[in-house]
A and B are shown apart, each in its own frame.
Chain A
């Protein structure tokens, strides 16, 4: 059994209360202070911090709105890696593994868990570097399978339904004006011409009052 690992995040960072104006300007109200301890399923605490630092550079928190840290992207990634996807249960992994043309996509043996572990390790003590150094380092690995995977996962963690661990407080959806999985636009589809239509976003669980079984929770 692995040691229980936690990621500690200040409550103000995770979600907070985010409001969204029709003009598309997000702004955040300060949440009360305190710390949230999130149990990790795959990462060690050090790895989670490292991954969080990378995600925060990919999708930063800045004047244009909150980012990967507030959305809890690293929690999303941790759950994906711990589940069957992380163990490559949805990829053809029979050999021989060959070097082929780029049109054939990723052909490596390593599964997402291994890609992350090796990728994070190769960055040394990334989280401790000064910001400018971090950016430079990421620029130097931009083309790697590891970096592209983290980038894809960051977008997923920003905009997937919050039941997957990211998009905390629906901040990703609020920033882009996505209302969530609404049941019907039958009355709206041919209206709102020239106008943004922005109903208050809701998650699947808020809409259906039930939560589906998630793929990341399946046996891996």
Chain B
């Protein structure tokens, strides 16, 4: 192992969170920062020839190669875990920009109650009435504290949208139920697609409040406060799972990197696969990693920031033996606790006319906020929380969307009748989805797998995760709302069935995987404090959705950024002057 020259700060992971932290530290302090990123370098021009559905959306050219590292999964502690051998339910990124290069761009703020969910639910239902295995927590930070940092993130990306609540005033066109925003969005909403117009009209007729989703895909040319100018989205439809060739989709490579590359105190070391955080006497001393040519290095650092996405944030702490592994039988330990994914469902609406669905943009969507959180839920639904229905117009691509057929349209899923029906229904199917809150439960958690290892022989991360009756009921309620919506749009829907299936690792849902290094008000319930600082190691910060003690219905990234900036502020203004515990 080669010992390298010490640096002030080592950041593990070059995605949204790692590069956002690097930019704050390098531009606002004199410290030198090295970012260790396992994947390859990236720039906008790499994407010019990227509009190829097969290599990018199916062979997953931009994702981390699962042959090198995966997770294992089991439904309960009584089962034996098996490795996820081919990608399915989520898609971890790699390379500069991480998953932020090939994300959709939905850029939401969370509802204020998300940050105090335990208190909120206790108040609403009474603590005694909540299920015993419910694990949700307060974060130790509030929406009002984060609001300026949300705004900072939105300006950096140039998020397009329309305020529904501007300093308490309800405005048309936005989400009327959102928490007060201090500023209008940096850019106006994207243009609606034809299917979105149909959805919007139908939802309004049924008394709902649909609105166009805020998107990190620019609706017009925009220059951010750092002076980075990017063009408007072209609705090309090669967005999710692709990098944007014109730079209209906010990606770390086209927003943060241009600033970082001018910083002399910044170094990006790609091809650097971190295996361990090294520590002594309660202090991180640096990072051990394998370089691109297979050589092993020790990078000493005064401060370590772990920003390697939920999976490796948890795994690297466990491999480095930092913190105490959570045990669901005793409920002791905090590392690995509060694993959540997202509750999804799909109601397909079959229309009688072609819809030109190939046009669209990653985050272009209508959202239905009427039942978000616990708003509008009647006792007979049996739900504690719900989420948002949405209709996405991401640009429909031919392989993925071929042969979405109504039930009974063909006797089998191949052959002449199937082909005929598939051609007939091409470009006529709209999906109403659910972005449902996934509550955290005692039995869903992460730890190290005892059997399977990554390419270096280090243990893989193991998920113990299954759906509960609450999530099945969320899907039932989604169908109850979506079927009349589909009819009001003039379409037909299938007969609804809910097989109450177990969690599966096969079908893609979202890459919103949360928890494991959760944030909280006290060290016995959480891994990091409100500033994303590790409770037991004050020179170690852990950033990303691994700090979320539950999954909100809304997409996580804007909140990941807001937390990163909140942490950066405390780190630069307070920690550097007086290193030690921030909370």
Q: Say if A and B assemble together.
A: yes
Task: Report yes or no: A177 in contact with B353, Cβ–Cβ below 8 A.
Answer: no
Scoring B residues 408 to 433 as 1 if CB is less than 8 Å from chain A, else 0, what string do you get?
Answer: 00001111100110010011000000
Instruction: Say if the beta carbon of A123 comes within 8 Å of chain B.
Output: no
Instruction: Say if the beta carbon of A89 comes within 8 Å of chain B.
Output: yes
Chain B contributes a number of interface residues (CB within 8 A of A) equal to 68
Instruction: Say if the beta carbon of B175 comes within 8 Å of chain A.
Output: no
Task: Report yes or no: A160 in contact with B65, Cβ–Cβ below 8 A.
Answer: no
**B52 contacts which chain A residues (CB < 8 A)?**
160-161, 163, 181, 204, 212
Complex: how many Å from CA A193 to CA B399?
24
Instruction: Say if the beta carbon of B354 comes within 8 Å of chain A.
Output: yes
Task: Report yes or no: B86 in contact with A106, Cβ–Cβ below 8 A.
Answer: yes
Task: Report yes or no: A186 in contact with B83, Cβ–Cβ below 8 A.
Answer: no
**A193 contacts which chain B residues (CB < 8 A)?**
194, 197
Instruction: Say if the beta carbon of B66 comes within 8 Å of chain A.
Output: yes
Complex: how many Å from CA A42 to CA B417?
31
Which of A105, A154, A183, A186 makes the CB contact (< 8 A) with B506? A105
Given A62-B419, A151-B413, A161-B54, residue A176 in contact with residue B197 (CB < 8 A):
no
Stretch at the interface among B35-43, B98-106, B228-236, B561-569: B228-236
Task: Report yes or no: A175 in contact with B356, Cβ–Cβ below 8 A.
Answer: no
Instruction: Say if the beta carbon of B84 comes within 8 Å of chain A.
Output: yes
Given A182-B236, A184-B235, A204-B49, residue A194 in contact with residue B353 (CB < 8 A):
yes
Question: Which residues 72-108 of A sit at the B interface, judged by CB distance below 8 A?
Answer: 85, 88-94, 96, 98, 100-107
Which of B53, B60, B85, B504 makes the CB contact (< 8 A) with A161? B53
Residue with the highest number of chain A CB atoms closer than 10 Å, among B53, B88, B192, B503 = B53
Instruction: Say if the beta carbon of A135 comes within 8 Å of chain B.
Output: yes
Question: Which residues 432-487 of B sit at the A interface, judged by CB distance below 8 A?
Answer: 451-453
Task: Report yes or no: B84 in contact with A104, Cβ–Cβ below 8 A.
Answer: yes
Scoring B residues 43 to 79 as 1 if CB is less than 8 Å from chain A, else 0, what string do you get?
Answer: 0000011111111001111000111001001010001
Complex: how many Å from CA A163 to CA B502?
39
**A2 contacts which chain B residues (CB < 8 A)?**
none
Complex: how many Å from CA A85 to CA B505?
20
**A178 contacts which chain B residues (CB < 8 A)?**
358, 397-398
Which of A92, A182, A208 makes the CB contact (< 8 A) with B85? A92
Task: Report yes or no: A185 in contact with B415, Cβ–Cβ below 8 A.
Answer: no
**B412 contacts which chain A residues (CB < 8 A)?**
139, 142
Task: Report yes or no: A104 in contact with B82, Cβ–Cβ below 8 A.
Answer: yes
Task: Report yes or no: A58 in contact with B67, Cβ–Cβ below 8 A.
Answer: no
CB distance from B391 to the nearest CB of A (A): 15
Instruction: Say if the beta carbon of A1 comes within 8 Å of chain B.
Output: no
Complex: how many Å from CA A121 to CA B134?
53
> Which A residue's beta carbon lies closest to that of B396?
A178
Instruction: Say if the beta carbon of B402 comes within 8 Å of chain A.
Output: yes
Instruction: Say if the beta carbon of B347 comes within 8 Å of chain A.
Output: no
**A59 contacts which chain B residues (CB < 8 A)?**
414, 419
Instruction: Say if the beta carbon of B193 comes within 8 Å of chain A.
Output: yes
**A154 contacts which chain B residues (CB < 8 A)?**
414
CB distance from B501 to the nearest CB of A (A): 8
Instruction: Say if the beta carbon of B237 comes within 8 Å of chain A.
Output: yes
Instruction: Say if the beta carbon of A173 comes within 8 Å of chain B.
Output: yes
**A192 contacts which chain B residues (CB < 8 A)?**
194, 356
Scoring A residues 156 to 180 as 1 if CB is less than 8 Å from chain B, else 0, what string do you get?
Answer: 1011110110000000110111110
Instruction: Say if the beta carbon of A115 comes within 8 Å of chain B.
Output: no
Task: Report yes or no: B503 in contact with A103, Cβ–Cβ below 8 A.
Answer: yes
CB distance from A197 to the nearest CB of B (A): 5
Instruction: Say if the beta carbon of B571 comes within 8 Å of chain A.
Output: no
**B353 contacts which chain A residues (CB < 8 A)?**
194, 196
CB distance from A200 to the nearest CB of B (A): 14
Instruction: Say if the beta carbon of A24 comes within 8 Å of chain B.
Output: yes
Task: Report yes or no: A177 in contact with B399, Cβ–Cβ below 8 A.
Answer: no
Instruction: Say if the beta carbon of B127 comes within 8 Å of chain A.
Output: no
> Which A residue's beta carbon lies closest to that of B49?
A212
Task: Report yes or no: A196 in contact with B356, Cβ–Cβ below 8 A.
Answer: yes
Task: Report yes or no: B61 in contact with A186, Cβ–Cβ below 8 A.
Answer: no
CB distance from B18 to the nearest CB of A (A): 25
Task: Report yes or no: A151 in contact with B419, Cβ–Cβ below 8 A.
Answer: no
**B234 contacts which chain A residues (CB < 8 A)?**
183-186
> Which A residue's beta carbon lies closest to that of B234?
A184
Task: Report yes or no: A181 in contact with B502, Cβ–Cβ below 8 A.
Answer: no
Instruction: Say if the beta carbon of A31 comes within 8 Å of chain B.
Output: no
**A119 contacts which chain B residues (CB < 8 A)?**
none
Complex: how many Å from CA A201 to CA B358?
12
Complex: how many Å from CA A101 to CA B84?
12
Instruction: Say if the beta carbon of B108 comes within 8 Å of chain A.
Output: no
**A212 contacts which chain B residues (CB < 8 A)?**
49-50, 52, 55
**B503 contacts which chain A residues (CB < 8 A)?**
103
CB distance from B434 to the nearest CB of A (A): 20
Complex: how many Å from CA A184 to CA B233?
8
Chain A interface size, as a band, is 35 or more
Complex: how many Å from CA A111 to CA B477?
41
Which of A60, A156, A196 makes the CB contact (< 8 A) with B419? A60
Residue with the highest number of chain B CB atoms closer than 10 Å, among A57, A103, A184, A215 = A103
CB distance from A26 to the nearest CB of B (A): 9
Given A142-B412, A159-B399, residue A96 in contact with residue B451 (CB < 8 A):
yes
Task: Report yes or no: A176 in contact with B402, Cβ–Cβ below 8 A.
Answer: yes
Which of A24, A90, A179 makes the CB contact (< 8 A) with B59? A90
Task: Report yes or no: B358 in contact with A179, Cβ–Cβ below 8 A.
Answer: yes
Task: Report yes or no: A155 in contact with B423, Cβ–Cβ below 8 A.
Answer: no
> Which B residue's beta carbon lies closest to that of A60?
B416
Which of B58, B88, B504 makes the CB contact (< 8 A) with A156? B58
Complex: how many Å from CA A90 to CA B451?
21
Task: Report yes or no: B505 in contact with A64, Cβ–Cβ below 8 A.
Answer: no
**B82 contacts which chain A residues (CB < 8 A)?**
98, 100-101, 104, 107
Complex: how many Å from CA A138 to CA B61?
32
Given A59-B419, A196-B354, residue A177 in contact with residue B86 (CB < 8 A):
no
Which of B50, B58, B66, B501 makes the CB contact (< 8 A) with A92? B66
Task: Report yes or no: B502 in contact with A103, Cβ–Cβ below 8 A.
Answer: yes
Instruction: Say if the beta carbon of B359 comes within 8 Å of chain A.
Output: yes
Task: Report yes or no: A185 in contact with B66, Cβ–Cβ below 8 A.
Answer: no
**A64 contacts which chain B residues (CB < 8 A)?**
416, 419-420, 423
Complex: how many Å from CA A160 to CA B57?
11
Task: Report yes or no: B505 in contact with A105, Cβ–Cβ below 8 A.
Answer: yes
**B66 contacts which chain A residues (CB < 8 A)?**
90-92
Task: Report yes or no: B235 in contact with A186, Cβ–Cβ below 8 A.
Answer: yes
CB distance from B72 to the nearest CB of A (A): 9
Complex: how many Å from CA A177 to CA B194?
16
Task: Report yes or no: A107 in contact with B85, Cβ–Cβ below 8 A.
Answer: yes
Task: Report yes or no: A204 in contact with B73, Cβ–Cβ below 8 A.
Answer: no
Complex: how many Å from CA A138 to CA B413?
12
5 extra interchain contacts, Cβ-Cβ under 8 A, other than A179-B358, A181-B238?
A62-B419, A100-B80, A139-B412, A185-B237, A188-B356
Can you spell out 7 A-B residue pairs with CB atoms less than 8 angstroms apart?
A58-B415, A67-B419, A107-B82, A138-B414, A193-B194, A197-B359, A212-B50
Shortest Cβ-Cβ A-B pairs, 6 listed: A181-B51, A184-B234, A212-B49, A103-B504, A159-B398, A100-B82
